[in-house]
Chains A and B, each alone.
Chain A
Amino acid sequence: MNHKQPDTSASGLASRVIARIEDEHIRPRPRWYFIFENGVLWSVGAAAVIIGGVAFSGALYDIANAGWQYEAATHDSLLSFLLDTAPYLWILLLCAFVLIGYYNIRLTKRGYRYPFSLIVAGVVLTSASAGLGFSMLGLGSVFENALGNVPFYRPEAALQRELWTRPDRGLIAGWVISRDATTSSFFLKSFDGSLWFVSGDDLRARDEALVSAGAEVRVFGAPAMASSTASSTPFHACFVFPWGLPPSPFLPPPPHIATSAPRMIFRDETNSAGARSVLCTGIRPYASLRSLR
């Protein structure tokens, strides 16, 4: 091997370093390696921001469909409602991908020059913007449904069904099977598969308008024994609401809103008979539910 001798003025350290470079055949890594490395960091950072957007959109969908209107009926306090319906998994995913985004951007060539708070705020804002965009395109429900296949995840729809399958709290929801033509009573198959005979003596025109065979409804009534079914005591209904939630002013309606009853105009809920019976008026969330009318 014919090595050129190091500069004669070189220090001992320089000679040793050059000797190791030669002995170990060390070569400078090619320029493309560093360009590629930087590109990968930016790409992973960008992907993390987009996935963060998906998580934001999913969280937004869950929040919009948490059933805020019925909070007084489904929960004892706003805090318990928030704890019950918070989209934990989406928030966790958003945090994880914000951190991945931060970490990758921090490792890029100039990433260290930006403070943690600035990078995190940038990633969160970009993810939020992307998420809002996804939501406006109606993708929130798509993401939610996709996540529904993940083991141990309780989708928002399943949570709502659970919340409204508590006859002991006066909450049942499901499909109207048939309606008595002469009275306001009807048969309802709840989401857990139970069959209920629902007494509609206390229902008003607005409630009755929602009760038609095949319609998906939420029924709020007098608390019943868990064992009460069509074969025993009827479920005493006070209010009927559509299963679908009203559309948010800035987000497209969830798919199940299509099953809602057509919009009807009523000036007064007491247009069919006087005040509701004490069975309904004595129940805690009565005032709140009545205000929904």
Chain B
Amino acid sequence: MPPEPTDEEVVRQTLADKERFAVLISRYEPKLTRYLRRLGVGVEEDREDVLQNAFLKAYRNLNSFDTDLSFSTWIYRITHNEAMSFFRRRKARPEVSLGEDEEAFRALLADDAADTAASAELRINGDAVKEALAALPEAERDAITLRFFEDRSYAELSDILEIPPGTVATLLRRAKGRLRERLEHHEP
């Protein structure tokens, strides 16, 4: 069985045959749908609209795809921007939805606290996490979502959010500090 073509190869193929774009859509639809839910696009129809617009935008701009970035980073960036436009149109951004990510997030945050010798045991419940995340400034919340839930590196965060790597580090540091502070207040 021949190896699966890489995303970058499929991009090249799509420029010659638009039907190949379906391969990329199929690869990224589940991940991006989850990402949109995490960003706060709660209604399924809205998620699909945002995603459809994101893929159409990606198709239109396929020639601007820079192979220095991975296709994954590029499509996340486009989807993120589409989601932000969606929130702007709606003039509201709902709270984040953690769902099944809650456990993983708790573990990550606790690990990170241990790494930095903050050492306090974080015994927190789901509502407290949601509340703490919702209280974060938008930019910090986006950074946390990408870093902890989407498992993206700092460099990828920089490319997706189109901000300097140093700013990514600052946003995450501040966000983690705020989260810890807020969650520690919820300790029994």
Interface residues of A (CB under 8 A from B): 4-7, 9-11, 13-18, 20-22, 26-31, 33-34, 109, 112-115
A80 to B29: give the CA distance in the assembly, Å. 66
11 interchain pairs, CB-CB under 8 A: A7-B20, A13-B55, A14-B21, A14-B26, A20-B56, A28-B15, A28-B62, A30-B63, A113-B165, A115-B166, A115-B167
- Contact B158–A13 (Cβ < 8 Å): no
Q: Which residues of B contact A4 (CB under 8 A)?
A: 17, 19
The one of B17, B26, B60, B165 that contacts A10, using a Cβ cutoff of 8 Å: B26
Q: Is B59 an interface residue (CB 8 A)?
A: yes
Kindly list chain B residues whose C-beta atoms are within 8 Å of the C-beta of A22. Answer: 18
Q: In whole angstroms, how far apart are the Cα atoms of A13 and B51 in the complex?
A: 8
B156 to chain A, nearest CB (A): 12
Known: A112-B162, A113-B164. A14 touches B15 (CB 8 A): no
Cα(A6)–Cα(B51), bound, Å: 18
Q: For B114, what are the chain A residues with a Cβ–Cβ distance below 8 Å? A: none
Give the interface of B toward A (CB within 8 A): 15, 17-23, 25-26, 29, 48, 51-52, 55-56, 59-64, 66, 158, 162-167
- B63: chain A residues within 8 A (beta carbon): 28-31, 33-34
Please measure, in the bound complex, the distance between the C-alpha atom of A18 and the C-alpha atom of B19, giving whole angstroms: 7
Complex: how many Å from CA A14 to CA B165? 33
A21 to B15, CA, bound (A): 13
* Contact, CB under 8 Å: A115 / B164: yes
For the residues of B in contact with A, the DSSP-based class is: helix
The answer to whether B29 touches A13 (Cβ under 8 A) is yes
Does B23 lie within 8 Å of A28, measured CB to CB?
A: no
Partner of A14, one of B25, B158, B167: B25
Docked Cα-Cα span, A9 to B27, in Å, equals 11
A10 to B166, CA, bound (A): 39
Provide the bound-state CA to CA distance between A105 and B66, in Å: 17
Residue of B nearest to A15 (CB): B22
When distances are taken between beta carbons in the complex, the residues of chain B under 8 Å from A109 are: 66
> How far is it, in angstroms, between the C-alpha of A125 and the C-alpha of B59 when the chains are bound?
40
Residue of B nearest to A34 (CB): B64
B60 — which chain A residues lie within 8 A by C-beta?
26-29
CB pair A18 B18 closer than 8 Å: yes
Q: How far is the CA of A197 from the CA of B19 in the complex (A)?
A: 94
A18 CB to nearest chain B CB (Å):
6
Closest to A115 in B: B164
Contact residues in A for B61 (Cβ distance below 8 Å): 28-29, 34
Report yes or no: A17 in contact with B163, Cβ–Cβ below 8 A.
no
Closest to A8 in B: B22
Q: Residues of B contacting A20 with CB < 8 Å?
A: 52, 56
- Asked if A17 contacts B52 (CB within 8 A), the reply is yes
Could you tell me if A21 and B164 are in contact, using CB atoms closer than 8 angstroms?
A: no
Report the separation of the CA atoms of residues A157 and B18 in the bound assembly, to the nearest whole angstrom.
67
The distance in angstroms between the C-alpha atoms of A10 and B29, with both chains bound, is 11
* Least Cβ–Cβ distance between A32 and chain B, in angstroms: 9
Q: CA–CA, A7 to B19, complex, Å? A: 7
Nearest chain B CB to A111 CB, angstrom units: 9
Given contacts A13-B29, A26-B60, whether A18 and B21 have CB atoms under 8 Å apart is yes
Also in contact, A13 and B164, with CB within 8 A (given A28-B60, A28-B62)? no
B61 to chain A: closest residue by CB: A29
- From A17, A31, A112, B21 is in contact (CB under 8 Å) with A17
